[in-house]
Structure 1
Amino acid sequence: MPDPGPSPLQSSLPAAVASFGAHVLASALAVGVEPAVGAGPGEPSPPPQPAPPVAPALPTGPPVLTPVPVPVSVPDEGAAPVAAAQPSAALERILRGPSGLGTASLHWARSDAPAAPGSAGAPDAPAPAAGRPIPGLYHHPVPEPDPVRVEELSRRIKAWALDEVSLYPEDWEDQFDGFSVGRYMVACHPDAPSIEHLMLATRLMVAENAVDDCYCEDHGGSPVGLGGRLLLAHTALDPLHTTKEYAPDWEASLLSDAPRRAYRSAMEYFLQATTPSQADRFRHDMARLHMGYLAEGAWAQTEYVPEVWEYLAMRQFNNFRPCPTITDSVGGYELPADLHAQPAMQRVIALAGNATTIVNDLYSYTKELASPGRHLNLPVVIAEREGRSEQDAYLKAVEVHNDLMRDFEAASAELALACPVPSVQRFLRGVAVWVDGNHYWHQTNTYRYSLPDFW
């Protein structure tokens, strides 16, 4: 297959970059990182906790931002600033584009020259991970996450779930532990400056799963009345602005069930550590997620099996997108709003969310088949709509995932070349690492997942 060359669609990202001022970009490029938002060090502090049963009033002013600056190595005076900077192995992988069998023609700037021993392009081979990866699934192995961070994060998130928001009863404890959310988040965010930054993502992840379980699926969830429950839960993320007469009723409702308590608390922590644009970005992606829940719930009520393309459209909304989209917040920096909003960046984030969600479909396949009722996932939809056997449908779903992954990596590589801005490069690297960490967690979580006997 001939080398396709660069996309004929010219990116508008350079024009957006210019709006930040040449002097800002020059200083940032000189040290190889995006200047940190804010001037002072510090970590997010816990929000004030309510004294039950009185519902506390929501903050009336802007959140107090306490971002942690990224450590910067300042070059000596007179030294050549940019030439000395060495890209990380993860960033080099993005810039090279996709790798693996059959992907050589997808990227025009790929270098096949071997990396020198000890260079950034020759990382140590990751330690073998537990669990069996799906045969033929395109993925990148990752090193085992830092066990010290995993242990501390697991301890803190369980304390938050039990003591701060009363998230689950005692008989759900084994399921909470089996979720291994601490290992999940450390694998997905290895560049987080602190445990508290990791907690930002971990609280939100746990809260999102509580909404999914309690409103939609495993623990009393139902498509009946789902829209009303999701809307009220969403107001814990996107506050209601109403009259003084009715505001107290809404505020009290935020403590009325576990999902809303979790959403409210997790979002308060998030607001203290992020900028208004980062918070609004997250709210937008959570609205997308809730719309996807509603589509899947509507199909369940009417017993409709969507066409494959319809299912993939639903999965672009009901997916992991809110998680990688906050990679800068967890990393202690900010991707500027107009760069995040660029169509090229939106495509990268959407493809990352789509690919990682199909990973979930594939690893949870046997778990869902064993659950009561009929669960829609990509292999089930392909089998129904394309008249394939269960095995053929599953293997076709693997191919769909691989296509999405290669498209994601090609789009990331193109954007990295089109916009060599430090915050863009770091964000792309963070999203790619999140994609890899997500696969790692699914592969290694043998408490939840097992593979079908199709090979």
Structure 2
Amino acid sequence: MLAGRLDERLLEWAGCIGLYHGRMERVRDAGFGRLATLCYPATDDEDLLMVPARCALAIWALDDHYCDDPGLGAVPSLLGSRLATASAVLGRVHLPDRHEAATRDDPALQGLRSATGHLQRITTPAQFDRTRHTLRTLFAALAQEATWRATHSQPRVWEYLMNRQANSFLPCMTVIDTLGGYRLPAEVWARPDVHDAVGTAALAASIANDIYSADIEDTCSGGDFNLPRAITAEQPCTAREALRISADLHNELMHRFRQQCDDLAHRGGSELHRFLDGVLDWCAGSLAWHRTAPRYHRQAADGHAPHTMERT
């Protein structure tokens, strides 16, 4: 099975780098191989699918190692400086050899460097720069979460949604054309209407993640942020009602994305239409993965969404 082979290769890759040291069952249970096969149906090339699978694992690992899990080394007071270093690792500037070695002691940095190195080998410079920019934006959003933690603040719903637009699945979506074997022109990607549409879908997919991870994040000792929690802090409602409201927002955003796709159908070429279809495929694949991923098994053990989120 393709997903299983990808997972085995991811385990080997993570072990060589040192990600999740002593907790490799978390890599196996995550099922990032299945995530790749579901989200990028345009190809069944195992080597090609390994590229976004490594990137997804590297991003999740950085979040766990730096933000969420003290057992993996997360220290809230160090998050800002660590994320700044991670952003620098994505750049073209490299330290002298005697200092470069210091960054290799950090498995999160090594995972990021290795994953993006594989990505760079299969992308054009413009495609790679697209992903790098969205990753740096994601790191800035994670740093904002660190400020909320340090000040013991609960963001208002609008503040949280602003942050979640940056802390989203957008980096994963930037490689859709690469996996599909075509190239979305840089000038098309740079168009505001295209950014608005893809950003809408990325935010919707991230809200779905919030819904499925809500129970687990509510039990985290360090505290985490998600849309249902922001809703319950701002208005009188139960946790269950907040999940329903979150699902309604997900559906509203997906309806908006479909309307944006219809509008763009009259203002884009074949590459853009193909890319937007790929975004829909990505959202559907991500939702299917969340429904069954052991990482969220307490919410999805029955194979159904905790609330009615429409399939894309």
TM-score, reference length from structure 1:
0.63
Whole-Å Cα distance in 1 between the matches of residues 213 and 182 of structure 2? 33
1:352 aligns with 2:205: no
Q: How does 1:36-115 map to 2 (within 5 A)?
A: none
Whole-Å Cα distance in 2 between the matches of residues 410 and 325 of structure 1? 21
Q: How does 1:139-218 map to 2 (within 5 A)?
A: 148-163=1-16, 165-169=17-21, 171-192=22-43, 194-218=45-69
Instruction: Quote the RMSD (CA, aligned, Å).
Output: 1.8
Whole-Å Cα distance in 2 between the matches of residues 393 and 205 of structure 1? 28
**Is this contact kept in 1: 2:20–2:26, CA < 8 A?**
no
Give 1:220 shift.
2.7
> Deviation per CA, 1:350-389, whole angstroms, max 9, x where unpaired?
1111000000110011111222243221111111112222
Q: How does 1:280-359 map to 2 (within 5 A)?
A: 280-359=129-208
Give 1:250 shift.
4.5
Q: 1:439 aligns with which of 247, 267, 287?
A: 287
1:238 match: 91
Structure 1's 227 and 239: CA in aligned 2 closer, same or farther, altered over 3 A?
farther
Structure 1's 234 and 454: CA in aligned 2 closer, same or farther, altered over 3 A?
closer
SS class of match (1:333): coil
In terms of fraction of residues, the more helix-rich structure is 2
Whole-Å Cα distance in 2 between the matches of residues 405 and 264 of structure 1? 33
Whole-Å Cα distance in 2 between the matches of residues 216 and 152 of structure 1? 29
Q: 1:269 aligns with which of 108, 118, 123?
A: 118
1:428 match: 276
Whole-Å Cα distance in 2 between the matches of residues 194 and 398 of structure 1? 34
Whole-Å Cα distance in 2 between the matches of residues 213 and 363 of structure 1? 17
Whole-Å Cα distance in 2 between the matches of residues 396 and 250 of structure 1? 50
**Is this contact kept in 1: 2:208–2:287, CA < 8 A?**
yes
Whole-Å Cα distance in 2 between the matches of residues 193 and 238 of structure 1? 30
> Deviation per CA, 1:234-265, whole angstroms, max 9, x where unpaired?
22221326xxxx52244223312101111111
1:220 match: 73
Structure 1's 348 and 454: CA in aligned 2 closer, same or farther, altered over 3 A?
closer
**Is this contact kept in 1: 2:83–2:139, CA < 8 A?**
yes
**Is this contact kept in 1: 2:127–2:174, CA < 8 A?**
no
Q: 1:384 aligns with which of 228, 233, 239?
A: 233
Q: How much identity, in percent, do the aligned residues show?
A: 33
Aligned residues: 301
1:448 match: 296
Whole-Å Cα distance in 2 between the matches of residues 224 and 447 of structure 1? 26
1:254 match: 103
Whole-Å Cα distance in 2 between the matches of residues 201 and 237 of structure 1? 16
Structure 1 unaligned regions, length at least 5: 1-147
Whole-Å Cα distance in 2 between the matches of residues 440 and 282 of structure 1? 24
The one-letter code of the counterpart of 1:167 is L
**Is this contact kept in 2: 1:193–1:331, CA < 8 A?**
no
Structure 1's 209 and 403: CA in aligned 2 closer, same or farther, altered over 3 A?
same
1:361 match: 210
**Is this contact kept in 2: 1:197–1:331, CA < 8 A?**
no
SS class of match (2:216): helix
The one-letter code of the counterpart of 1:204 is C
The one-letter code of the counterpart of 1:229 is R
Structure 1's 207 and 446: CA in aligned 2 closer, same or farther, altered over 3 A?
closer
**Is this contact kept in 1: 2:231–2:242, CA < 8 A?**
yes
> Deviation per CA, 1:143-169, whole angstroms, max 9, x where unpaired?
xxxxx2212212222222223x23232
